Structure 1
Amino acid sequence: MRALWAMLCFLALPLWADEPLSGWAVYSTDKSYDQLVADTKAAVKENGLIVVTQAGPTKAAAARGITIPGNLVIGVFNNDFAVRVLETSVDAMIEAPIRFYVTENDDGSATLSYKTPSFVFAPYVYEGGEPLRDIAADLDTKFQTVAESAVK
């Protein structure tokens, strides 16, 4: 019976493929991958945040002779938010930097997505309380502004 259930779940996966994941914001664009990466980094800076980390398998795969679609995770935060988060929950800082995710689509366009900061920090609200919720709400607004600027 478990094998049947597992098979049915596996077959149903394509039905959910177009649904955004819970807690995610997803912005489809007509921009190329390279342009969306550049515009995202510029929007981060314009909105008072800092690119803290960048990681993606695309260039490393190319160095090995493997071609894969563009794929980059951009970690974003700033010291003001770091200090504020630490005042509410030391454990919550494991989530910083919060990440934007740029992916290249089959048609050459790119998508920008991210887990909303309120979703990312939700497990720590028991410790950080309302002040952490407020910080997450501030970051939600900031991330949405970055995303909307990057994709326009």
Structure 2
Amino acid sequence: MRWIIPMTLASLLCFIAPSDSLLAEPYSPHSGVKLIETTIPFDNFTERLTGAISKNKMGLVAQACANCGAKSIGVTIPGNRVFMIFRPDFAVRMLAASEAAGVEAPLRLYVTEQSDGTARLSYRLPSHVFGAYEVADLDRLGAELDVILAQIAQDALQ
């Protein structure tokens, strides 16, 4: 039973202090992921993104801040933020089309700070997320949300 604590601590340290090879891993988005490199500093971009979400009438449901959590335990990592967004009318339409699709909301916009201090934005295309359900109403919703997320990204870049 004594080995559980050291194993747990060792496992946690792997996540807190990743190896250099892990940090240097090239980013390659998965299928259905939109990737946008910016020239905008991380903090500035996250502010712009918050404004763009509001401007495009999407609700900011929550945020997750990995670098904030790391800082709380005395570890410094590059900026890392997930913006979770959705809107009640889209939720109603999504659930009417497929209750199972409820697990996909809110949609997530992921902003990471690059080594030069700039922000990278990535997100799964809603059409890709909802397309997996093979429900026509979700396909239409996903296509509509693709346009909104693209506009949010565009607005944040300006």
Normalised by the length of structure 2, the TM-score is 0.81
Q: Using the TM superposition, give the Cα deviation of residue 56 of structure 1 relative to its aligned residue in structure 2, in angstroms.
A: 2.1
Q: Secondary structure at the match of 1:17?
A: coil
Cα deviation digits, residues 26-61 of structure 1 (max 9, x gap): 111111111111111110100010100111210111
Opposite residue 140 of structure 1, the aligned amino acid is D
Greater share of helix: 1
Q: Using the TM superposition, give the Cα deviation of residue 18 of structure 1 relative to its aligned residue in structure 2, in angstroms.
A: 5.0
Q: RMSD value over aligned CA atoms?
A: 1.6
Matches of residues 21-36 of structure 1 in structure 2 within 5 Å?
21-36=30-45
Rounded to whole Å, the distance in 1 between the matches of 2:104 and 2:59 is: 15
Rounded to whole Å, the distance in 1 between the matches of 2:86 and 2:97 is: 16
Opposite residue 24 of structure 1, the aligned amino acid is V
4+ long deviations beyond 6 Å: none
Show the counterpart of 2:127: 118
Pairing 1:82–2:91 present = yes
Show the counterpart of 1:20: 29
Show the counterpart of 2:9: none
Pairing 1:144–2:145 present = no
Q: Using the TM superposition, give the Cα deviation of residue 21 of structure 1 relative to its aligned residue in structure 2, in angstroms.
A: 2.2
Pairing 1:132–2:141 present = no
Rounded to whole Å, the distance in 1 between the matches of 2:50 and 2:119 is: 14
Structure 2 stretches lacking a partner, 5+ long: 1-24
Rounded to whole Å, the distance in 1 between the matches of 2:112 and 2:82 is: 9
Normalised by the length of structure 1, the TM-score is 0.84
Matches of residues 45-60 of structure 1 in structure 2 within 5 Å?
45-60=54-69
CA contact (8 A) 1:27 1:151 kept: no
Rounded to whole Å, the distance in 1 between the matches of 2:151 and 2:48 is: 13
Identity across the alignment (%): 39
Show the counterpart of 2:118: 109
Cα deviation digits, residues 91-127 of structure 1 (max 9, x gap): 00111000000100001111111000011112222xx
Opposite residue 66 of structure 2, the aligned amino acid is P
Cα deviation digits, residues 117-148 of structure 1 (max 9, x gap): 011112222xxx21110000000000000011
Q: Using the TM superposition, give the Cα deviation of residue 17 of structure 1 relative to its aligned residue in structure 2, in angstroms.
A: 3.1
Structure 1 stretches lacking a partner, 5+ long: 1-15
